[in-house]
Every structure is written in structure tokens, then in C-alpha cells.
Structure 1
Amino acid sequence: MADILQQLEGTPVLVCAPDGAPLSGEREATDLIGNGAYQGAAWVAVPVERLTDDFFRLRTRVAGDIVQKFANYRLGLAVIGDISRHVSVSTALEDFVRESNRGRQLWFLSDLDALRARLAGR
């Protein structure tokens, strides 16, 4: 399955396939941003399966570096899927997720339907 541009509530979103290359650092983020920008995406939806465990260990700074890349290119990042096993062992990650979901740059959502609802303002 390939990454595909979809219109979700009138917003162009590059929906990434779960079996694609892992998003493990800035280089992979830049490639994904380039693909999204080329296709005209405003958001990129990345399944949790594409993220390495280091993304969820905030002390590694992988998440911060990736999110900063997306912010620099004014592209939203939605992490799609169940992250409960990561959040259950890290209060810092739980706080990061809560704060991110209050913003407009990075969202952690359970599925694409939750992303649709968020984009629709619900």
C-alpha cells in the first residue's frame, strides 16, 4: 500500500501506509514532508506503526526533531493509532500528547475518523 493524498473534510492529507518506511529521524521526516508538499498536503497522517520506539522516548529528542521539521515547513503531523503502551510508562509523554492535542501542529489520534472530526472542528 502506498502513501496517498486524501481530502478529509476539505483538507488535503497525505495518509501514510502502515507498512512504509519507518519515520525514525529528520532525514525520513524531510522525505515525507517533500512528498506531502509535492502532492499539496496540509497534513500528514502517520500510522503509529511507522514510528520507532525512540519517537516515544522524549529524552531521545527524535519526536521534537521530527515535529520541528514539520513546523518549519508548515505541515501538520497527525500520529494515528494506539499509543497507550507508550503513554502508560511515561508521564512526560502523556503531558506531551495532551499539550500537542491542544495545538494546531501535532495531534495524536486513534484513527482517521478522529482526524476527520478534528479537521471539521468537532
Structure 2
Amino acid sequence: MLVPDTYAANCPTRLVLDRIADKWAVLVLALLAQGPLRFNALRRRIEGVSQKMLSQTLKGLERDGLVRRTAFPTVPVTVEYAITPLGATLAERVELLRDWAEQHIAAVQAAQARYDQAA
């Protein structure tokens, strides 16, 4: 059995890093960590995400075992998304990144302004 090494080009952990480095995946996981939501509720909460992008993100997270999709036999069919236990372990860490971004955005923007002014 191979030992995971994210620095190796062929390491499958890179696929997971691609998923969690995606801003839409981060936002979906953070919201679902608060409780199950339907597709349109997610779309309303995550401003700027297209229907297509949200659908692709949810499918990818479901494939990775991070999100569970449940369809209810109503007319029309009601679909709800919930975080899985595995997804919850990741959401804890993702929430730290989201918090960091909110707390340090002013410093990042100031650094960007200094850099752009010097260039």
C-alpha cells in the first residue's frame, strides 16, 4: 500500500485538495455543517453561485462522501443535502479557514494595495 504524499504528482490526495480548495465547496460545507438544506436554500445563501456550479459542487462532495443527498417522494420531488460524519470532520477545518479569511481580509487588501502601488 502506498503512503499518501500530497507532494507526489500521482497521489490521490491531490484530488481531495482540489475539492476542498474550491470556494464553492468550502461555502457549501460550512453551511451544511449548520444543518441540512435544500438546493434552493443553499443557492440563496451562497450569493454568486450559479445553479450549474452548485449542482456540480454538490455532486462532487457527494461522490467524495462529504455530503449526503436525500430525495423525498413528494410532488415535485424534494431533495435535501446534509453533511456526513466524514464531511463534518472537514467542515471543522474549513470553518477555521473561512473565519481566518473574514478576520484578515483588511490586512490582505492592504497588502494587495501596497503591492499594486509599488508595481
The two structures have a TM-score, normalised by structure 2, of: 0.26
Structure having the higher strand fraction is: 1
Provide the TM-score with structure 1 as the length reference: 0.25
Which structure has the greater CA radius of gyration?
Answer: 2
Q: Which protein is richer in helix relative to its size?
A: 2
